[in-house]
Structure 1
Amino acid sequence: MKKARSLLLKLFLVSLVIGTGYVIYLDARITATFTDKMWELPAKVYARPLELYVGADLRPEDLAYELEVLGYRKVTLTRKPGQVARNRGRFEIYTRGFTFPGEREPARRVIVDIGPTKVQAITESGRGVDLMRLDPAQIGGIYPTHGEDRVLVRLDNVPETLLQGLLAVEDQRFYQHWGFSITGIARAAYSNLVSGRVVAGGSTITQQLVKNYYLTPERTIVRKLNEVLMAVLLELHYDKDQILESYVNEIYLGQEGPRAIHGFALAARHYFDTPLEQLGLHQQALLVGMIKGPSLYNPRRNPERARERRNVVLDVMVEQNVISAEHAMVAKAMPLDLNKAPKIRDTFPAYLELVRRQLRLEYREEQLTQEGLKILTAFDPIIQRQLERSTGAVMDKLDSAGGLESASVVTRLDSGEVAALVGGRRFSYAGFNRALDARRPAGSLLKPAVYLTALEQADTYSLASVLDDTALTVPSRQGDPWQPRNFDRTEHGDVLLYQALANSYNLATARLGMDLGIDNVADMLRRLGIEHAVPRVPALSLGAGEYSPLDMAVLYQTIAAGGFRSPLRSIRDVVDAHGEPEKRYELLYDRQVSLQAVYLLQYALLEVMQNGTGRSSRALLPEWMTVAGKTGTTNEGRDSWFAGFSGDLMAVTWLGRDDNGVTGLTGSSGALQVWSHFMARASKRPLNYNMPSGIEVSVIDSSNGYRTGVGCPNARSVPFIAGSEPRGKTQCAPKKGGIRDWFESLFGG
């Protein structure tokens, strides 16, 4: 008997030591991580803010779409932020306001009057407004692997009726108990005993918080004991308000694809597109009711069930004297009042992937998923919508079966910012991003690099230099000799340099590339922005190698910017969780190519669109729109490319098949059609062809490149770097009548 008592004592002491150690372990786990978990926030990604000022290029339907994307509610009279009243071209907008880096845009009620294409007036309380910005739309986030998303809110900013309703339904003795409720556990145990299975948990708010933070959702006695023990420890270390505030920000309230909606503040935005502090009583009760089963009572999927649950919550709030019976009756009569704005968050996966890749060059993954950063980007919802519409409209005509794919990148000419991006025909599909990762031969899209290499050598080449467009054979050590051919299978003999590029003659380009030296062509591609290695083979001049649409966007942005190379930016600013600027992505650029040489190249690219392989776009673009660009087609029509620019936008489009199959399309019959459809509707300014110093214009005979007289046969005006004009002259004297070509028209001639 004595030995038995001794053994029991030892077992008790061992159990006490183990139990004490386990309690110490749980206590350390709570104190070490609770505060961190309260502030674990994914980065939020925002579009550019829409700037409004008198004279801004904006159509009424575009402003209406922007406000729809932002979730502004349509009303007859605006009374609070986030509302808009429209009467044709007049918009009464009560803006929400937004904190930008170093500046606060206040919430304000303004009247915006818009004509067919421009903002005509902006007033606030009868006074004119010079410039204002709408709040930027959140287009996505960078979530941790578990996908949790939340918007933090302080307890002081939570409506009192919501807090009291929450306690009335979930934990009426929250401020009296020590983390668990004996009566609640007893009631749950009885229900489970009667049903023969676990149907109730009897958890307090503290226990629910512990379960969400630290434990699995399985229903076992061991987990329940851990839950109770950790709840008590939590209450020992933190006061009730801290625990309640943490619960308000943590509670799971639904799912949006891979994104988990946590906390009342985010749920208010998600379901009602309304700040938490502005929720009506009927909306507060609906959110409280959803705690019992976010999927079961999802108001979008199960509206009637959600309405019934909301009304139950309102009845409990009356019983607990939180609200009056009259208030409950009014709230029950209200509709669910859900947000009907189009879902735009995380629906631009191709652009968001570009943002993520650029962020990960400078930020660790845990910074992006836990520190609540705000990422302010250059993404333009209006331009993106038009790019998607144009892609869809043209692709449906070209290939209704859907086997053909497309990718496009759009940049702003003045800044190099990526404004829009399409990674495939399924715009919202977060799969293979062809704009970034589809690497294909570029065909004739690389030819401008060859001609620019030549034009930098002004003592040897000019736009009027005569090139030989006849067959050639280049021996190869690895196999068969290289024998390029023109697309039309025809040799064109002597052609002028600008004509060879405008008509995309392969033979003339190949010969020019060989004369210049392939290493020099490869160096030009590097200077224009192609950072990866390119094959240093004769076929490089005709597009050999592998390039993504983003690669081509970098190259053509440099050309469009007059030889100034800058990295394509998707991010403008990064702001920390406290609203303090963390990093600003300034516009950086450096000159890589002679301005005069790029000017001459732009002339040839303008000729592509006027009389060359891109001339079909003239029927699709407005008469006033001057554009420059280049078509590209790879062997057997496997890839269709086009890259070009106007006065405000540069865009690159690729069409092809994922299996690299034949498309039957050229650059002009495929990619150019998407590009032209888009630019005709999105671009606001023609290409401003400003002549730099060191350039002179001469009249030449386009049949031979000789200088000639105004009004002579084949006469046309062509720019030259001073001193590089043709030396040979025709015998034709100037005649009356002048020259009427597109180049002269740029200067009003």
Structure 2
Amino acid sequence: MKKTRTLLFKLFIVFLVLGAGYLIYLDARITSTFTDKMWELPAKVYARPLELFAGADIKPDDLAYELEVLGYRKVAHTRKPGQVARNRSRFEIYTRGFGFPGEREPARRVLVELGPTKVQSITEEGRAVDLMRLDPAQIGGIYPTHGEDRVLVRLDAVPETLRQGLLAVEDQRFYQHWGFSITGIARAAYSNMVSGRVVAGGSTITQQLVKNYYLSPERTILRKVNELLMAVLLELHYDKDQILESYINEVYLGQEGRRAIHGFALAARHYFDTPLEQLGLHQQALLVGMIKGPSLYNPRRNPERATQRRNVVLDVMVAEGVISEEHAMVAKAMPLDLNRAPSIRDTFPAYLDLVRRQLRIEYRDEQLTQEGLRIFTAFDPLLQRQLERSTQAVMSQLDKSGELETASIVTRLDSGEVAALVGGRRFSYAGFNRALDARRPAGSLLKPAVYLAALEQSDKYTLASVLSDTAFTVPRPQGEPWQPRNFDRMEHGDVLLYQALAHSYNLATARLGMDLGIDSVADMLRRLGIEHAVPEVPALTLGAGEYSPLDMAVLYQTIAAGGFRSPLRSIRDVVDARGVPEKRYELLYDRQVSLQATYLLQYALLEVMQNGTGRSGRAALPEWMTAAGKSGTTNDGRDSWFAGFSGDLMAVTWMGRDDNGGTGLTGSTGALKLWSHFMARSSKRGLNYNMPEGIEVATVDSSNGYRTGTGCPNARSVPFVAGTEPRRKTNCSAKKSGIRDWFQSLFGD
């Protein structure tokens, strides 16, 4: 007997030690992670804010679309933030205000008057407004693997009726108990005993928070014991207001695809598109009621059930003295008042992919998914909408089978910011991002690098230099000799340098590249922005290698910027969860090619659009729009490319098949159609062709490159580096002629 008591005592001591150790483990788990979990927030990604001022280029329908994607509600007269009243070209907007990096745009009611294409005036209470910014649209987030999303709110910012209503429904003795409720447990135990299984938990708000933070949702006795112990420990370390605030920010309130909606603040935005502090009583009661079953009482899928649950919550609030019967009666008479505006959040996976890749150069995944960073980007919803519309319209004409794929990138000419991006025909499909990862031969899209390398040597090459477009053979140590051919299988004899590029003659280009040296061509590609290795073989002159649309966007952005190379940026600013700026992505650039040589190349690219392989695209553009560009086609029509720029935008478009099969398209019959369709509807300025110092214009005979007189046969105005104009002249003197070539027309009268 004595031995038995001794054994039992020892077992008791062992269990006591183990129990104490387990409590210490649970306590350490809570104290080491609770504060961190309170601040575990995904990064939010925002589009550019729309700036409005008198003279701003925007059409009434575009402003209406911008307000629609921002979730502004259409009303007869605005009374609170987030509303708009439109009467044709007259917009009364009650802005929400927004905290931008370094400054805050206030919420205010403004009157915006528009003409057909521009803002005419902006007033606030009769006073002119020089400049205003709408709040930026959230276009996505960078979530942890479990997909949770939340917006933090401080307890003192939560409406008092919402706080008291929550306690009345979920935990009436919250401020009296020690983390658990004896009566709640007894009530749950009775329900479970009657049903023969675990159907109720009797959990307090503290226990629910512990379950959400630390435990699995399974209903077992062991989990309930852990939940109770950890609830008591949590109450020992943190005060009631801290626990309630954490619960308000953590509680699960629904699902949007793979994105889990946590916390009342995010739910207020998600279901009503209204800040938490501006919710009506009927909206507060609905969110409180949804805690019992976010899917069961989802107001979008089950509006009648959600309304019944909301009214039950209002009755409880009356019974507990939170609100009066009159207030409840009014709230019950209200509709659900849900946000019905279409959301653009997370519907641009290709652009968000670019943002993530650029962020991960400097940020760890944990920072992006837990620290609540706010990422401000250059994404333009209006340009993106038009790029998608153009893609859909042109691709449906070219290919109804769905086998042809495409990708496009649009940048701002003055900043190198990526404003819009399409990674494939299925715009919202988060799969293979062809804009960044489809690596294909670029064909003639690489030819400008060859000609730019030549034009840098102004003592040897000018736009009027004569090139030989005749067949030749390059022997190779191993394998068959290289014998380039023109697309039309013809030879064109002697042609001027700018003509060879404009008409994309392979033979003349390959000869020029061989004369320059393949190493010079490869060096020029690196200077223009191609960072990966290129094959230093003769075929490089005609586009050999593997390049993504992003590679080509970098290259053509450098050309469009006059030889200044800058990294293509999608991100403008990064701000932490407290609104403190972390990093500003400034415009960085360095000169890689002389301005004069780049200017001469731009002339040849303008000629592409006027009289060369891009002339069909020029016909699709408005008459006032001056644009430069280059088409590209690879062997057997596997890839169709076009890259070009106007005065404000640069865009690159690729078309091809994922299986690398033939498309039957050239750069002009495929990618150019999409490019010109987009640019005609999006660009606001033609290319401003200002001649830099050291450039002079001479009139030459386009048939031989000789100097000739204005008005003579084949006379063309061509720019030259000063002192490099042709020395040989024709016998024709200047004549009076009312006909001007396109280059002269750029400079007006």
Give the TM-score of the pair, scaled to structure 1: 0.99
Residue 510 of structure 2 corresponds to residue 510 of structure 1: yes
- Tell me if structure 2 keeps the 8 A contact 1:716–1:739: no
Is the aligned partner of 1:50 residue 2:50? yes
Aligned to 1:203: 203
- The residue that corresponds to 1:306 in the other structure is 306
Separation in 2, partners of 1:339, 1:545: 50
Aligned to 1:374: 374
Once the two structures are overlaid, the 10-residue window that deviates more, 500-509 or 574-583, is 574-583
- Paired with 2:82 and 2:574, the residues of 1 have a C-alpha distance of 25
Give the equivalent residue in structure 1 for 2:707: 707
Cα offset, 1:472, TM superposition: 1.2
Looking at structure 2, the residues matched to 532 and 115 of structure 1 have their Cα atoms a distance apart, in angstroms, of 48
- For residues 367 and 640 of structure 2, the distance between their equivalents in structure 1, rounded to whole angstroms, comes to 40
CA distance in 2, matches of 1:159, 1:545: 62
Counterpart residue type for residue 155 of structure 2: L
8 A contact 1:717–1:739 mirrored in 2: no
CA distance in 1, matches of 2:192, 2:442: 68
**Matched residue of 1:405: which SS?**
strand
The Cα offsets for residues 471-517 of structure 1, whole Å up to 9 and x where unpaired, read as 11111223111111111111101011000000000111011110010
Partner SS for 2:401: coil
Following superposition, the deviation at residue 326 of structure 1 comes to 2.1
**Are the aligned partners of 2:71 and 2:343 in contact in 1 as well (CA < 8 Å)?**
no
SS at structure 2 position matched to 1:139 = strand
Distance 1:585 1:664 in 2: 42
Would you say the 8 A contact 1:410–1:652 is kept in 2? yes
Aligned residue number for residue 231 of structure 1 = 231
- State the secondary structure of the residue aligned to 1:207: helix
Contact 2:646 2:686 in 1 (8 A): yes
Aligned mates of 1:144, 1:36 — CA distance in 2 = 14
- Residues 275-301 of structure 1: CA distance to partner in whole angstroms, max 9, x if unpaired? 000111111111111111111111112
Superposition deviation, residue 367 in structure 1: 1.1
- 3-state SS of 1:651 partner: strand
**Are residues 1:395 and 2:383 paired?**
no
* 1:323 equivalent in structure 2: 323
Counterpart in 1 of 2:693?
A: 693
Partner Cα separation in structure 1 for residue 104 and residue 259 of structure 2: 29
The whole-number CA distance in structure 1 between the counterparts of 2:587 and 2:259 is 33
- DSSP-derived class of the 1:260 partner: strand
What is the CA-CA distance between 1:4 and the residue it aligns to?
A: 1.2
Alignment match, 2:520: 520
- Contact 2:648/2:685, CA 8 A, preserved across alignment: yes
Q: What is the aligned partner in structure 2 of residue 218 from structure 1? A: 218
State the secondary structure of the residue aligned to 1:631.
strand
- Number of aligned positions between the proteins: 749
Give the secondary structure class of the aligned counterpart of 2:421: strand
Give, as a single letter, the amino acid of the residue that structure 1 aligns with 2:675.
W
Instruction: Report deviation, 1:738.
Output: 5.4
Tell me how far apart the structure 2 counterparts of residues 141 and 478 of structure 1 sit (CA, whole Å). Answer: 52
Query: Could you say which residue in structure 1 is the equivalent of 2:431?
Result: 431
* Mapped pair 1:114 → 2:114: yes
Contact 2:98 2:105 in 1 (8 A): yes
Deviation (angstroms), 1:687: 0.4
* Mapping for residues 80-159 of structure 1, pairs under 5 Å: 80-159=80-159
CA deviation digits over 1:37-74, x for unaligned, max 9? 10111111111111111111011111111111111111
| Amino acid paired to 1:527 | R
CA distance in 2, matches of 1:387, 1:132: 26
Deviation for aligned residue 1:640: 0.4
Matched AA of 1:744: Q
Amino acid at match of 1:636: D
What is the match of residue 530 of structure 1? 530
- 2:440 aligned partner, one-letter code: R
**Residue segments in structure 1 that go unaligned for 5+ positions in a row:** none
RMSD: 0.9
Residue of structure 2 in register with 1:364 after alignment: 364
- The corresponding residue for 2:616 is 616
Separation in 1, partners of 2:23, 2:381: 53
Could you tell me which residue of structure 2 aligns to residue 629 of structure 1?
A: 629
Q: Distance in 2 between matches of 1:207 and 1:456?
A: 73
CA contact (8 A) 1:250 1:262 kept: yes
Match of 1:651 in 2: 651
CA displacement at 1:618 relative to structure 2? 2.5
Displacement of 1:546 after TM fit? 0.4
2:473 and 2:331 map into 1 onto residues whose CA distance is: 84
Alignment of 1:401-550 (within 5 A): 401-550=401-550
**1:744, 1:246 → 2: CA distance?**
69
Q: Is the 8 A contact 1:552 1:652 kept in 2?
A: yes
Contact 1:710 1:739 in 2 (8 A): no
CA distance in 2 between partners of 1:532 and 1:301 (Å): 50
Task: Give the secondary-structure state (helix, strand or coil) at the position aligned to 1:375.
Answer: strand
**Separation (CA, whole Å) in 1 of partners of 2:738 and 2:464:** 20
Kindly provide the amino acid, as one letter, of the partner of residue 533 in structure 1: A
Q: Distance in 2 between matches of 1:152 and 1:120?
A: 39
Q: Distance in 2 between matches of 1:739 and 1:697?
A: 17
- The whole-number CA distance in structure 2 between the counterparts of 1:329 and 1:674 is 57
Structure 1 SS opposite 2:77: coil
Greater CA drift, 626-635 or 195-204: 195-204
Distance 1:417 1:149 in 2: 28
Letter in 2 for 1:663: T
Give distance in 2, aligned partners of 1:5 and 1:406: 81
- Percent identical among aligned pairs is 87
- Give me the whole-angstrom Cα distance separating, in 1, the residues matched to 2:79 and 2:101: 28
Deviation, 1:412, is 0.3
Q: Structure 2, unaligned stretches of length 5 or more?
A: none
- Tell me which moved more, 631-640 or 395-404: 395-404
Q: Report the Cα offset of residue 733 of structure 1.
A: 1.4
Structure 2 length as normaliser, TM-score?
0.99
Distance 1:219 1:306 in 2: 25
Whole-Å Cα distance in 2 between the matches of residues 100 and 336 of structure 1?
Answer: 32
1:673, CA displacement in angstroms? 0.6
Letter in 1 for 2:235: E
Contact 2:355 2:570 in 1 (8 A): yes
Which residue of the partner structure matches residue 73 of structure 1? Answer: 73
Which residue is 2:678 aligned to? 678
Tell me, what secondary structure is at the counterpart of 2:141? strand
- Return the alpha-carbon distance in structure 2 between the equivalents of residues 640 and 229 of structure 1: 66
Structure 1 residue 329: Cα displacement: 2.0
Alpha carbons 1:553, 1:651 under 8 Å: kept: yes
Q: Counterparts of 1:557 and 1:314 in 2: how far apart (Å)?
A: 60
Number of the residue aligned with 2:333:
333
**Which amino acid in the other structure matches residue 353 of structure 1?**
D
Letter in 1 for 2:671: A
SS in 1 for 2:339: coil
Q: Distance in 1 between the 2:163 and 2:249 partners? A: 12
- The aligned residue for residue 41 of structure 1 is 41
Q: Which moved more, 1:735-744 or 1:652-661?
A: 735-744
> Counterparts of 1:99 and 1:456 in 2: how far apart (Å)?
48
- Asked whether the equivalents of residues 54 and 120 of structure 2 are also in contact (C-alpha less than 8 Å), the reply is yes
Counterpart of 1:13 in structure 2 is: 13
Cα distance in structure 2, aligned partners of 1:193 and 1:662: 70
Question: Is 1:246 matched up with 2:250?
Answer: no
CA deviation map 1:14-47 (0-9, x unaligned): 1111111111111111111111110111111111
Measured in 2, the distance between the counterparts of 1:688 and 1:328 equals 65
| Partner Cα distance (2:43, 2:692) in 1 | 44
Deviations 1:233-256 (A, max 9, x none): 111111111100000000011111
Partner of residue 26, structure 1: 26
Q: Supply the distance in 1 between the matched residues of 2:680 and 2:595 (Cα, whole angstroms).
A: 28
Matches for 1:551-590 after TM superposition, within 5 Å: 551-590=551-590
Q: CA deviation at 1:739?
A: 4.6
The one-letter amino acid of 2:528's match is L
Look up the SS of the partner of 1:666 in the other structure: coil
The question of whether the paired residues in 2 share the 8 Å contact of 1:710 and 1:738 is answered with no
* Contact 1:701-1:708 within 8 A present in 2 as well: yes
* Larger deviation, residues 699-708 vs 318-327: 318-327
Between the aligned partners of 2:316 and 2:403, the Cα distance in structure 1 is 57
